[in-house]
Amino acid sequence: MHQINLETVSRAIYIDFEGNVDREPTFLGSHHIDAKTGTDVFTQYVHEDIFHSATKTKGQCVNKSIEEAFEYLATIAYRENRIFLAWSSREKLAIETFISNEKLKEFVLSRLFDSKRVARRWKNRFHRNVTFERLPRQGRHRLSEYMNLIGYHVPSTAGPGNTGQRLRTVREQLVRRNGDYEKLTAVSKGKWTKVLSHNYHDCVGMREVTLAAMKDLRTFKFGK
């Protein structure tokens, strides 16, 4: 049993993978607030080799494997006693699958919790009159619905639904151009920028949803 509160979620590290089905994630977005300065820290760790040249023009992007990214994030979590929050179980499955260091994997999973469970409890208690439409393969309790509920604005170009197609397009062009991002068309570069923006808003928006929920709930218990 693990109990969290408003302070816990304020200090948490919010993570969100982006990628295509049935392959290792392309990159990981990570967002937290610096303990000393109070500033936002947002980083996108690009795992997939073919995308590495695409990080050069984006200041928030760095090339690191999943394991390297979590080695760094786990150091912060351990030193500053932070938890990880993700939306649903997708991140948990990726961590279980693609981190080979068993001690690192065990540490991260021991501190990884599902933000959606907090949001659902909050909605059921404080917004029972709100109904979300169920979509095929996406379910009802989508992060985008909760961001709308709290008034968190996401640009139309960064909304859900197009990430997989955009990544496939950019990957195909990078393969044809031997991994040289500068040789991509303007349209493909725009798709990459939109995927990064979508990931940013998922991470930051998830934090805002979780904060809003916890202000009303005050505490939340995760059981085994």
The model's pLDDT over 141-164, given as tens digits with 9 standing for 90+, comes to: 999 999 999 999 999 999 888 999
Looking at residue 117, its pLDDT comes to 96
Per-residue pLDDT at 77 exceeds 80: yes
**With 80 as the cut, is the pLDDT of residue 53 above it?**
yes
pLDDT of residue 161: 81
Judge whether residue 167 has pLDDT over 90: yes
- Residue 79 in this model has a pLDDT that exceeds 80: yes
How far apart are the C-alpha atoms of 92 and 222, rounded to whole Å?
15
Rounded-to-integer distance, Cα 21 and Cα 195, Å: 15
- pLDDT level of residue 224 (50, 70, 90 thresholds): low
Number of Cβ atoms within 10 Å of the Cβ of 128: 8
Percent of the chain with pLDDT over 70: 100
Which of 111, 129, 108, 113 is closest to 210 using CA atoms?
A: 113
- pLDDT score recorded for residue 159: 84
42 has which bridge partners?
Answer: 31
Query: Averaged over 112-123, what is the pLDDT?
Result: 97
Percent of the chain with pLDDT over 90: 88
What does the pLDDT read at residue 88?
85
Between 136 and 194, the higher pLDDT residue = 194
Q: pLDDT value at position 135?
A: 86
Q: What is the pLDDT of residue 17?
A: 98
Identify the pLDDT of residue 136: 83
Question: In this predicted structure, which of 29-33, 124-128, 220-224 has the lowest mean pLDDT?
Answer: 220-224
* 63: β partners: 46
Residue 127 gets which letter from DSSP?
Answer: -
What is the spatial distance between Cα 217 and Cα 171, in angstroms, rounded to a whole number?
42
Q: What is the pLDDT of residue 57?
A: 80
Residue 12 DSSP code:
P
User: E strands within the chain?
Assistant: 2-5, 13-18, 27-33, 40-46, 61-63, 84-86, 112-114, 219-222
Question: Which pLDDT score, from 0 to 100, does residue 138 have?
Answer: 80
Give 92's contacts (C-beta < 8 A, 6+ positions apart). 86, 109, 112, 114
Q: Torsion over CA of 34, 36, 37 and 41, rounded to 10 degrees?
A: -10
What is the per-residue pLDDT for 56? 86
pLDDT at 196: 97
Amino acid identity, position 184: L
Q: Which residue has the higher pLDDT, 22 or 174?
A: 174
At 77, list the tokens.
């979590």
Average pLDDT, the chain: 95
